[in-house]
Structure 1
Amino acid sequence: MPDKAIRFLIVDDMVENLMALEALLRRDGLEVHQAQSAAEALELLHVNDYALVLLDVHMPETDGYELAELMRGAERTRLVPIIFVTAVEKDETRRFRGYEAGAVDFIFKPIDPVILKSKAEVFFRIGQQARDLAKQRDEMRAIAQHRDQAMARLRAHTDNSPLGFVELDGGLVIRSWSQGAERIFSRPARHMLGQALKASGWLPDEATETLKGWVDEHSDSDRSLRHSLEVVARTADGREVTCEVYGSVLIEADGQHRSLSLQVLDISPRRQAEEVRSLLIGELNHRIKNTLANVQAIARQTLRQSADLAEFDRSFSGRLQALARAHSILSDATWSSAPLDDLIEDHIRAGTLAADRLRRTGPTVEISPENMLRMALTLHELTTNAQKYGALSVPGGEVHLDWKLEGEGLVLRWQEKGGPPVTAPARTGFGLTLIASSAGGEEGTVAAEWSREGVVWTIRLLRGVSPLKGVPAAPKPSSVLAVAPGEELAGLHVLVVEDEPLVVLDLTHEVEDAGAEVVAVARTLSEALDAANGDGIDLAILDGNLRGEKVDAVAELLARRDIPFCFVSGYGPEHLPSAFRSVPVIQKPFSSAGLRAVLRRLAKPRQAQVA
């Protein structure tokens, strides 16, 4: 056995003979076992491995010849060498029987120590060699097992990898084609193995020439270099697959034969994602510039037709808020079609259109983003005009708003009742221009009837309208709070947490115009935490995000200190700290009235404490 002593077995019925033989054989690395009978010897032979058995011929019950025959009849002991020890003079008949029974030699008594040691030395060395061979066999077996396990793991990794592994010989004939390659290119290995790369139709000819160049480059070198290539390969059905190919030229031990190992990565999804990203960036840039252009046009036209700055501020802010709220509706709908009812509810929640004076009927429909933005401004202008000159300017006046589907479009009718007599305006102002362009500016899509009972507007949306699928979402609560006019914020100290300088300037002016004082401005998270720990703060205005950092810690600190605060953010409530869903949210861009209304509501408990 590997790493164990060599064992000899002495079998003799005489104890003194056993002791004498053991004394003569004793040496380092040798372990001598004794047996006084055939039965005892067989028991030891079935437990241990022996390099040599010294067997006395004459023993009671079962003699040496019979024991040898029993050993030759058993698989385990058949090959164990036997030397017979006998006191009988050399007798050819007995010697023949001994060899026939399996003996390899005889030693005659009285025993010559030199002869015994010489013969024992041979079998000791044979035993050592057998032990070493067994050890090498076990080591080779372990190496082979590790190799097989490594190959199995490598095969599993190769087959399960998103990469395709392909091996080519020096002549660019395909010798290996992994399951990953089968998945990527829909080409089974049985169709690819043994094919010349150029004839396989897998890679274009120019790519084949490039791979050939990789192999030729190594003809005078024994270094292994790494190559890479981007290529458009083809599947079995002709579909194009954009791939990155990484190759290594392998040189055989003889230095003559070369092979090419390829790892192929399908980057088609990455390329598609890059194309989508480029498209989205372009679309985002287009929408931002369109929005800025609309804001610019609204600002210029409002300024031209405003009598003073106060009127400009009021008109421009109202139009900008209507546009911003429409953007919020479209963001919730991921800039796809959104319900018309959501737009109407938004005007009601914002306080620009009174629910008790509105009568509306019509099917549930969705309108496209372009229609949503135009209709937001249109409803704002219709409501503003009705409040100034029409049915909503006197008690008891009503607005009837109804719509119906017509082909692929929508016919919307705005009728005012119970208001003062109206006549067609002498000139067309910017508000009427906005209403007239509500259907995209196409001729005949917008009409007005200026009757004494009230104006009637008919707007036809020719496209971008569809019946609403599913159940419409529940209306969102308004973040703009109605308060009685005339309430003041005088004497209150406000902390402003905002990272945009222009927004800080605007907030500061609004707060100071309301009579309060901005005692600190924080633009980073660390500044905000320091400021929120300070004394003399009655209210706080908190941005929803500071240079990419969340403001949860600031909100928690303000809440622990019982300092009322509100969020001013371009994010919706779902993207603000979840533990503070009840905190008021003022959407950017904000209106002066909306900001002051929220601050006055937050200030009431503080003012009550002072009183």
Structure 2
Amino acid sequence: MPDRPIRFLIVDDTAQNIMALEALLRRDGLIVDSAQSAAEALELMLRHDYALAFLDVQMPETDGYELAELMRSTERTRGVPIIFVTAAEMDEARRFRGYEAGAVDYIFKPIDPVVLKSKAEVFFRIGRQAKELERQRDEMQDIARHRDRVMAQLKAHADNSPLAFVTLDSNLCVRSWSKGAERMFGRPAGDLLGMTAVAAGWLDEQGAALLTGWLDSQQEGAPRFSAEISLDHADIGPICCEVYGSVLSEGAGRQSLSLQVQDITERKQSEEVRALLIGELNHRIKNTLANVQAIARQSLRQSGSLADFEVSFGGRLQALARAHSILSDATWACAPLDQLIDDQISSGTLDGDRLRRDGPPVELSPDTMLRLALTLHELGTNAAKYGALSVPQGRIELSWRLDGPCLELTWRETGGPPVTPPERSGFGTTLIGAAGGGDASAALADWRPEGVVWTIRLTEGVTRLAASACPDVAPVTDGPRRPATLQGSRILLVEDEPLVALDLRYELEDAGATITGIARTVTEAIAAAQAGGIDLVLLDGNLKGEPVDEVAQVLDGLSVPFCFVSGYGREHLPQGFDHAPLIEKPFRPDMLRGILTALLARGLPDAAE
């Protein structure tokens, strides 16, 4: 049913006539308006839409004929049907004038109710049908607007989407080609629309066979498929794509294929890189463990006592670990030689005040960096035991030069005790020679009385750095203070690895310290710190995957000195605690004792007794 009622208009200068017509016309769904003059009638017709107008022919000022002519001259009222109401006898001239003025019929007074109602019923039904048609028109317009809005949204989505939207007919001819498809494949829509995807070169025969199989599937509904297909890019050739397809029925056995295409070239490359990295990681881990095993066995074989073994093995392991840290900072790419030398100085293996270095800026590959780290550690350790660094006046000159793709590195000791060639070559000599890749001629020693001179030739893994690209050399600092005594100090260990905690405990108890407790979680660490009675804290950088920022803040608030013990670099530790030293795992016992002794010597207030 229409939403709005039907309206009739009665125009008559006599109120009784209006009342009589209203009484005869009254029914549900009909509103009857009335006017007693032409002006009043025209005003009503400007406000309302009427399905029928009854006009009295005889009115004092503007008669019915004149009013009808006025209605026909106005766009809004031109289509209103008019029935003239008259009591006069009608001759042909008067009747013709009425129809010429726009009348559709006449009703004569006295009015026959049956005739009036039958005629009114016709226009009432026409009015209802007109209202219904208007309602349907409005609904269709709403539907069309909604359709256009949805289509615009879909087009905008397709055009702006990183996916390519493509429609193919049953012959694999391209029907639609989105802006995303233009971007993804470098092909404008005009070059493909109406062509078969194979003839256009976008789809190869194998892909065409696959899509044809989707179209020929006998599944009910709108079957959906997915596959990885190589599709052609206009500039770079075939690219790997993930294609999602829906088969749509168009009636009479006709079908089309709606495709959504995603370029997965980068994902494929990432998967390949990830597989390569996992393989490389496994390779490096196994190689590292094999190297550690070899260092342990050879160090044990050539050590006179367990104490000698601990010192030699721990130092070599530390050198290897620090080289790994340098390479991790460089994401396992090449790292500068100067950075490796600075690391040897900061660890105490070399004395920066007694080292003179000279050479062009170069960087080393990971394998070369690891081998040279062990080499410099052995050279520095030997110099501290027997050579130039064993006496205050001794000096080391470390120089290098590039000879084509090779690096020739010279280690020269002066000012030390008289030198005599060793009676036999030990494992340390083997490690020094390892820098050249194991070639016996790559590392040569000249045992001069005034000081040994080592010449080491690296034939691979060396690249010259441009002067502007050379990283700033860290300021040279003295090595950590030599162990003093930790006798009587109270130390809290915050460490979640039981074996590491046990090793630290034994080492510190051997130095005379008292371990007040071992905390393995953040909550335990905070509770132990707040309980008091500690002079120093060794804080792991991460406890069971939980950061230790809160623990560091509590310790600072209590003025309890602490140091980090972690396998992480400084950049992965809590920020804002640069005053706390970092002991990297694995640690050397002498470095551990030296750093802790220096930390206690800062004179920070003790914790509450």
Contact 1:479-1:584 within 8 A present in 2 as well: no
Match of 2:384 among 370, 387, 402: 387
Counterpart in 2 of 1:268? 265
Q: Say if 1:508 and 1:426 are closer, same or farther in 2 by CA, change over 3 A.
A: same
Q: Which amino acid aligns with 1:289?
A: K
Q: Say if 1:201 and 1:423 are closer, same or farther in 2 by CA, change over 3 A.
A: same
Q: Quote how far apart the aligned CAs of 1:37 are.
A: 2.3
Counterpart in 1 of 2:15? 15
2:402 and 2:477 map into 1 onto residues whose CA distance is 32
2:520 and 2:420 map into 1 onto residues whose CA distance is 53
Counterpart in 2 of 1:228? 226
Counterpart in 1 of 2:411? 414
Counterpart in 2 of 1:399? 396
2:598 and 2:393 map into 1 onto residues whose CA distance is 30
Once the two structures are superposed, the pairs formed by residues 469-508 of structure 1 within 5 Å of their partners are 469-470=467-468, 472-474=470-472, 482-483=480-481, 485-490=483-488, 492-498=490-496, 500-508=497-505
Q: Say if 1:607 and 1:112 are closer, same or farther in 2 by CA, change over 3 A.
A: closer
Q: Which amino acid aligns with 2:380?
A: T
Q: Say if 1:38 and 1:533 are closer, same or farther in 2 by CA, change over 3 A.
A: same
2:89 and 2:161 map into 1 onto residues whose CA distance is 78
Report SS of the residue matched to 2:435.
coil
Range with bigger deviation, 27-36 or 139-148: 27-36
Range with bigger deviation, 152-161 or 140-149: 152-161
Counterpart in 1 of 2:73? 73
1:204 and 1:185 map into 2 onto residues whose CA distance is 14
Q: Say if 1:310 and 1:210 are closer, same or farther in 2 by CA, change over 3 A.
A: same
Counterpart in 2 of 1:239? 237
- What CA RMSD, in Å, does the superposition of the two structures yield over aligned residues? 2.8
Q: Say if 1:381 and 1:32 are closer, same or farther in 2 by CA, change over 3 A.
A: same
Counterpart in 2 of 1:123? 123
Contact 1:497-1:528 within 8 A present in 2 as well: no
Report SS of the residue matched to 2:176.
strand
1:309 and 1:538 map into 2 onto residues whose CA distance is 31
Range with bigger deviation, 145-154 or 404-413: 404-413
Contact 1:222-1:251 within 8 A present in 2 as well: no
Q: Say if 1:578 and 1:485 are closer, same or farther in 2 by CA, change over 3 A.
A: closer
Q: Say if 1:493 and 1:347 are closer, same or farther in 2 by CA, change over 3 A.
A: closer
Q: Which amino acid aligns with 1:374?
A: R
2:162 and 2:53 map into 1 onto residues whose CA distance is 62
1:443 and 1:426 map into 2 onto residues whose CA distance is 18
Q: Quote how far apart the aligned CAs of 1:310 are.
A: 1.0
Count the aligned residue pairs: 607
2:216 and 2:204 map into 1 onto residues whose CA distance is 19
Q: Say if 1:42 and 1:233 are closer, same or farther in 2 by CA, change over 3 A.
A: same
User: After the TM superposition, which parts of structure 1 deviate over 6 Å for at least 4 consecutive aligned residues?
Assistant: 477-481
Report SS of the residue matched to 1:595.
helix
2:82 and 2:608 map into 1 onto residues whose CA distance is 116
Q: Quote how far apart the aligned CAs of 1:134 are.
A: 0.6
Q: Deviations over 1:216-240 (max 9, x none)?
A: 332xx64333222222233345722
Q: Which amino acid aligns with 2:141?
A: R
Counterpart in 2 of 1:466? 464
1:363 and 1:206 map into 2 onto residues whose CA distance is 56
Q: Say if 1:520 and 1:253 are closer, same or farther in 2 by CA, change over 3 A.
A: farther
Q: Which amino acid aligns with 1:195?
A: M
Q: Quote how far apart the aligned CAs of 1:269 are.
A: 1.6
1:575 and 1:59 map into 2 onto residues whose CA distance is 101
Q: Which amino acid aligns with 2:13?
A: D
Match of 2:536 among 523, 535, 539: 539
Counterpart in 2 of 1:440? 437
Q: Which amino acid aligns with 1:502?
A: L
1:276 and 1:425 map into 2 onto residues whose CA distance is 48
Contact 1:479-1:585 within 8 A present in 2 as well: no
Q: Deviations over 1:104-125 (max 9, x none)?
A: 1112223333322222222122
Q: Say if 1:59 and 1:224 are closer, same or farther in 2 by CA, change over 3 A.
A: same
Counterpart in 2 of 1:155? 155
Q: Quote how far apart the aligned CAs of 1:473 are.
A: 4.3
Report SS of the residue matched to 2:103.
coil
Report SS of the residue matched to 2:304.
coil
1:224 and 1:201 map into 2 onto residues whose CA distance is 28
Contact 1:302-1:315 within 8 A present in 2 as well: yes
Q: Quote how far apart the aligned CAs of 1:136 are.
A: 1.0
Q: Say if 1:480 and 1:531 are closer, same or farther in 2 by CA, change over 3 A.
A: farther
Range with bigger deviation, 344-353 or 203-212: 203-212
Counterpart in 1 of 2:143? 143
Q: Which amino acid aligns with 2:357?
A: R
Range with bigger deviation, 473-482 or 287-296: 473-482
Counterpart in 2 of 1:35? 35
Q: Quote how far apart the aligned CAs of 1:142 are.
A: 0.5
Q: Say if 1:69 and 1:235 are closer, same or farther in 2 by CA, change over 3 A.
A: same
1:223 and 1:298 map into 2 onto residues whose CA distance is 69
Counterpart in 1 of 2:279? 282
1:424 and 1:601 map into 2 onto residues whose CA distance is 38
Q: Quote how far apart the aligned CAs of 1:408 are.
A: 2.9
Once the two structures are superposed, the pairs formed by residues 48-447 of structure 1 within 5 Å of their partners are 48-218=48-218, 222-236=220-234, 239-254=237-252, 256-442=253-439, 444-447=441-444
Q: Quote how far apart the aligned CAs of 1:51 are.
A: 0.9
Contact 2:342-2:476 within 8 A present in 1 as well: no
Contact 2:295-2:313 within 8 A present in 1 as well: yes
Q: Quote how far apart the aligned CAs of 1:589 are.
A: 1.2
Q: Say if 1:210 and 1:367 are closer, same or farther in 2 by CA, change over 3 A.
A: closer
1:577 and 1:540 map into 2 onto residues whose CA distance is 15
Report SS of the residue matched to 1:363.
coil
Report SS of the residue matched to 2:468.
coil
2:534 and 2:474 map into 1 onto residues whose CA distance is 31
Range with bigger deviation, 273-282 or 46-55: 46-55
Counterpart in 1 of 2:596? 599
- Give the structure-1-normalised TM-score: 0.91
Q: Quote how far apart the aligned CAs of 1:579 are.
A: 3.8
Q: Deviations over 1:481-519 (max 9, x none)?
A: 734533224251423322x33222222222222223334
- Give the structure-2-normalised TM-score: 0.91
Q: Say if 1:358 and 1:149 are closer, same or farther in 2 by CA, change over 3 A.
A: same
Contact 2:406-2:458 within 8 A present in 1 as well: yes
Q: Quote how far apart the aligned CAs of 1:27 are.
A: 2.6
2:39 and 2:124 map into 1 onto residues whose CA distance is 25
Aligned sequence identity (%): 61
